[in-house]
Structure 1
Amino acid sequence: MSQKIQTALISVYHKEGLEEILQELNNLRIKFISTGGTKDFIQSLGYECEAVEEVSGYPSILGGRVKTLHPKIFGGILYRRDNESDKKQVKSYDIPSIDLVIVDLYPFEETVGTGGSEEEIIEKIDIGGISLIRGAAKNYKDVLIVASKDQYKPLLDLIKEKQGLTTLDDRRWFAKEAFKVSSGYDTAIFNYFDGDQRTAFRQALNGGKQLRYGENPHQKGMFYGDFDEVFEQLHGKEISYNNLLDIDAAVSLIADFNETALAILKHNNACGMACRPTVKEAWEAALAADPVSAFGGIVVTNRPVDKEAAEAIHEIFFEVIIAPSYDKEALDILFQKKNRIILVLKSPEKATQLLQYRSVLNGVLVQDKNASVQTAEQLQVVTDVAPREHETGDLLFANVLVKHTKSNAIVLVKNKQLIASGTGQTSRVDALKQAIEKATTFHFDLKGAVMASDAFFPFPDCVEIAHQAGITAVIQPGGSIRDAESVEYCNQHGLAMVTTGVRHFKH
């Protein structure tokens, strides 16, 4: 149903873009009600404007904290035009009918961003404005709400097109946009008070970033978050939905290593990884694990990339490289590919949330981030033979990798180099067989290698297969009612096994 705008309540922080709207509204003989600086601005243009204080009969108090919060203002916005009781009360209390509300909130985010004092920031929490937005949006059947300067243009277009008339669909669309503004504003305030605790999902305050598409071209995709808070993009094309998934997996993995490390990821799993004295050496060892899968992957390292490393890495095609910094000569080389995404991880501590979220059914799953990393002191030797020192290092390396590999997962490691992994299998035996087949394909000798499993062995079959392939040490959580069978096999054949007591499922 179309309705004619007759009275507009206007209370805005940003006046830019408002002048043409006021001119059009004035031409349509729409009455203005306003406050403070906005009223002065309207009158400076030569238009009549009634002060909110004149309508309410009450002055602005508490240093301007209370101006519009009055029954005559909110009654004029919230009363239902088709409700006889509401209409009688409005008439009885001489409440004006308000059909259009234009609000632009105090710049809370901007004040936080410019390093304002606590007092300045708190004073930029808008109370009256946010209440006007919610009230008008709630009563969208009768009132048009414009909740931000970003909606000035759609309003102007509507006024020009329909000459002051609005339809229910028009008003409902503006109400939807208004609640988007109010929810984002409240989120910004929550984030400020939450500070470094980061206790809840922090949606992008501008409503999210539209991505080219989702996981596949026929799916829409959005990113809610502040990517620039964590990374600086030096080069390359627009980051995609799948890039973001791989980047998240990459930085989560590399964060668990203190030695010079480099990983190559594909579909969130490491297809190559190694710890070596230099980035170039780590690259060469990581690439050797699976040079086929490395094509088009994500490269991440926890050390600066120098010229020598860049020259080696540049030889194959990859989508993204992530590092804490790059030498100028390295960037000269890496920039040669136009679309290659080059990222600086500038805030590792902000790269991952303390809580993780996944949508399921008609709800959301929330869990703590898996921040558990085992140390040599935490390993329990359960076999007669203990792992040798270098095997212990490989077992810990493998255990971190298997933590970041899709379940069911098996990881094979030798000399702190990923040899092969079995990922996302429905059977742990299948995961092991996949890993062994892959290692064989790329001509690795598994004699002296170690094996990590993300969960316990329900049967001794995995340790039997591993032993036959040449593996000499195993790390697993333990906890199976048949652990003794796997331990017994290891004892009979001279394998070392350690348990961690920590399962690392990753679904």
Structure 2
Amino acid sequence: MKKIKTALISVYHKDGLLPVLEKLNRLDVTLYSTGGTYDFITQNGFSAKTVESLTDYPAILGGRVKTLHPKVFGGILARSENESDQQQLQQYAIPTFDLVMVDLYPFEETLKNTHDRNEIIEKIDIGGIALIRAAAKNYHDVLVVPSLEMAPELLALLEEKNGETSLDDRRYFAAAAFDMSSHYDTAIFHWMNPGRIHSFKKSIRNVHTLRYGENPHQKGLFYGDMDRVFEQLHGKAISYNNLQDLDAAIHLIDDFEETTFAVIKHNNACGLACRENLTEAWKDALAGDPVSAFGGVLVTNRPVDTETAAEINKIFFEIILAPGYSPGALELLQSKKNRIILRQKSHAFPGEQFRSVLNGVLWQDADRVTETEADLEVKTETAPTPLEIEDLLFANKIVKHTKSNAIVLAKNKQLLGSGTGQTSRVDALRHAIEKANSFNLSLKGAVMASDAFFPFADSVEIAHKAGITAVIQPGGSIRDKDSIAYCNQHQVSMVFTGVRHFKH
């Protein structure tokens, strides 16, 4: 155990500092401080010594240099069991610091509030980060507190052990210090990087412990701030799999402007419809696959009213996500204790995606392309009708968010069937047709969307025989002419987008 006798405190924010000062004062700890922190300490009736009184050197360069001095860092880095270190402390009259408490300049907060380059640069902390790293390096002798966020933990420790700390205590705070410093430097790197330095760096300090991972025998955590995306109004804790479905649901619904309802199961839409009335959108979305909807994730881009909630309440589902709920709708939906009810907030997602593979990370730009009528190139003698064009664009939005290989069949802005994650495009199509037929959904006059090109004409032939009259696909196969020829022979329209939407 090691007694705290001398502390160096230099913090940007002062909220939460007063209880620490009161505790250190009761423990008779000698305080050293700088600038505004020194003023705060003395103005609140506590005694302290200035760093300048130790270094005999004033703060210079407008405060850029205050603590960067051998007498400060010597007192932090000196090893108690190293005889030479101790002799030099005595020789140069350097006090030993047992506690270093720092709160860094708010770099990330400044980024959010201004684009002024000079103001941002001035919030890159140099002395503070150096103090944190030095104290953390010498955790054998020094307790480092890298942020006032940790003040409650410091107070609890001081109270429990009456101002003494163990090696394990100091190592824990040192690890937190390096976590803080690496996060801080990562934020600076991303702001500073001109795009020519390719180094994968991510630091997310918000962590949520989940019930488990994909399966109960796997641990699961979420790093991020889900509170910025939605507000949980009711229900049990959100799981690992829930978050994957919610991610799929939000990105899908964001592509639709009309009143839309969708049902998500295992990251894919199993039901989706656009209607003028929300209740009708729900009914037609459910009709697309009422079996898969069991236990699914429901998402809409309109506030849920009481009439729609009454219809939704008739089935078992796990989660509903909407921009709002009427009081009556919320009361109805809360009838099941574990049902998760979320209110979606307006939130912009990053334009990048990454996942772990092998012993590394895959990175890519997010797929932000959503085709419009202007992007369609008619490749057949028969052109799609205006209603078919609406359905083609509708189906193409869904197939973009469906696991590959993917086929989507739709009519009148209703999802009739989809083939998801199949090993061949023909299998995906047959699965989609089987889905539609199993729920007695007519495919006569329906359209087909494919997430990638058709290497042969077989898929187009199968679709036509099932009733499909229009097809949307990216094109790009060396045998595109075969599919086009079949369509021309059977008066089926086909449009190319030129954009592939694989989603593995």
Normalised to the residue count of structure 1, the TM-score between the two structures is 0.85
SS of the residue corresponding to residue 404 of structure 2 reads coil
1:202–1:225 Cα contact (<8 Å) kept = no
**Matched residues in 2 for 1:120 and 1:254: separation?**
38
| Residue 385 (structure 2) pairs with residue 388 (structure 1) | yes
Provide Cα deviations, 1:198-247, integer angstroms capped at 9, x if missing partner. Answer: xx98755x532333333233333333333333323333333322222222
Tell me: CA distance 1:343–1:152, structure 2 relative to 1, closer, same or farther (3 Å). Answer: closer
| Distance in 1, Cα, partners of 2:291 & 2:485 | 38
8 Å Cα contact 1:24-1:160 kept in structure 2:
no
Tell which deviates more after alignment, 178-187 or 355-364: 178-187
Residue pair 1:180, 1:207 contacting (<8 A) in 2 also:
no
Quick check: 215-224 or 361-370, which moved more?
215-224
1:317 aligns with 2:316: yes
Task: Note the alpha carbon deviations across 1:292-347, whole angstroms, 9 max, x for none.
Answer: 11112111122232222222112112222222333333223223333333333331
Deviation at residue 189 of structure 1 after TM alignment: 7.1
The 10-residue stretch of structure 1 (489-498 or 389-398) with the greater mean CA deviation from structure 2: 489-498
Aligned length: 494
Matches within 5 A, 1:7-86: 7-12=6-11, 13=14, 14-19=16-21, 21-22=23-24, 25-26=27-28, 31-35=30-34, 49-61=48-60, 66-79=65-78
- Alpha-carbon contact 1:24-1:159 (below 8 Å) kept: no
2:176 paired with 1:174: no
Which stretch shifts more, 33-42 or 497-506?
33-42
Structure 1 counterpart of 2:440, one-letter code: H
1:266, distance to aligned residue in structure 2 (A): 0.9
Show structure 2 runs of 5+ residues with no match: 194-199
Partner of 2:233 in structure 1? Answer: 234
**What's the offset of the Cα at 1:412?**
0.9
Note if 1:459 corresponds to 2:456: yes
Hey, what does 2:410 align to over in structure 1? Answer: 413
Mapped pair 1:506 → 2:503: yes
Counterpart of 2:210?
211
Change (3 A) 1:202 1:347: farther
Aligned residue number for residue 272 of structure 1 = 271
Shift of 1:134: 1.8
1:463-487, CA deviations, whole angstroms, 9 ceiling, x for partnerless residues? 1221222222211111111212222
- The equivalences for 1:68-107 within 5 A come to 68-79=67-78, 93-105=92-104
Q: Secondary structure at the match of 1:232?
A: strand
Q: Is the 8 A contact 2:305 2:329 kept in 1?
A: yes
Q: Say if 1:22 and 1:42, in contact at 8 Å, map to a contact too.
A: no
Aligned 8 A contact 1:101 1:143 in 2: yes
| Preserved contact between residue 460 and residue 485 of structure 1 (Cα < 8 Å) | yes
Query: CA contact under 8 A between 2:447 and 2:469: conserved in structure 1?
Result: yes
- Cα pair distance change 1:83/1:324, threshold 3 Å: same
After superposition, the Cα gap between the structure-2 partners of 1:65 and 1:310, relative to the gap in structure 1 and judged at 3 Å, is same
Task: Write the letter of the residue equivalent to 1:303.
Answer: R
AA aligned to 1:18 is V
Amino acid in the other structure paired with 1:433: R
Partner Cα separation in structure 2 for residue 140 and residue 107 of structure 1: 25
Residues 230 and 347, structure 1, Cα contact 8 Å, conserved in 2: yes
Query: Residue in 2 aligned with 1:306?
Result: 305
Instruction: For 2:191 and 2:330, locate their aligned partners in 1 and report how far apart those are by CA, in whole Å.
Output: 36
Q: How does 1:434-449 map to 2 (within 5 A)?
A: 434-449=431-446
> Secondary structure of the residue that 2:382 maps to in structure 1?
coil
Aligned to 1:362: 359
- Tell me whether 270-279 or 65-74 shows the greater mean CA deviation: 65-74
* 3-state SS of 2:342 partner: strand
Most deviating of 212-221 and 410-419 = 212-221
Equivalent residue of 1:367, what SS? strand
Q: Distance in 2 between matches of 1:435 and 1:11?
A: 64
RMSD between superposed Cα atoms in Å: 3.5
Task: Tell me the equivalent position of 1:243.
Answer: 242
Q: CA deviation at 1:444?
A: 1.5
Map 1:457-496 onto structure 2 (within 5 A). Answer: 457-496=454-493
Deviation digits for residues 6-61 of structure 1 (CA, Å, limit 9, x no counterpart): 543233433243256425753xxx65433456557777999875432221112345
What residue is the counterpart of 2:254 in the other structure?
255
Distance 1:474 1:86 in 2: 78
Q: 1:104 to 1:24 in 2, by over 3 A?
A: farther
Q: Rate the CA distance shift 1:400–1:201 in 2: closer, same or farther, 3 A.
A: farther
Distance 1:116 1:425 in 2: 48
- For the 8 Å contact 2:261–2:285, the answer to whether it is kept is yes
CA distance in 2 between partners of 1:297 and 1:279 (Å): 18
Deviations 1:235-288 (A, max 9, x none): 333332222222221121111112221111111100000111211111111100
The residue type paired with residue 8 of structure 1 is A
The residue that corresponds to 1:296 in the other structure is 295
| Contact in 2 for aligned 1:387/1:473 (Cα 8 Å) | yes
Do the aligned partners of 2:20 and 2:155 also contact (CA within 8 Å) in 1? no
- Whole-angstrom distance in 2 between the partners of 1:46 and 1:281: 68
CA distance in 1, matches of 2:268, 2:417: 11
Secondary structure at the aligned position of 2:232 is classed as strand
How far is 1:3 from its partner? Answer: 6.1
Q: Contact conserved, 2:79 with 2:86, CA < 8 A, in 1? A: yes
Partner of 2:350: 353
Indicate yes or no: 2:399 matched with 1:402: yes
Aligned to 1:376: 373
Residue 430, structure 1, aligned to residue 430, structure 2: no
Distance 1:317 1:147, change over 3 A: same
Match of 1:340 in 2: 339
Q: Is this contact kept in 1: 2:271–2:288, CA < 8 A?
A: yes
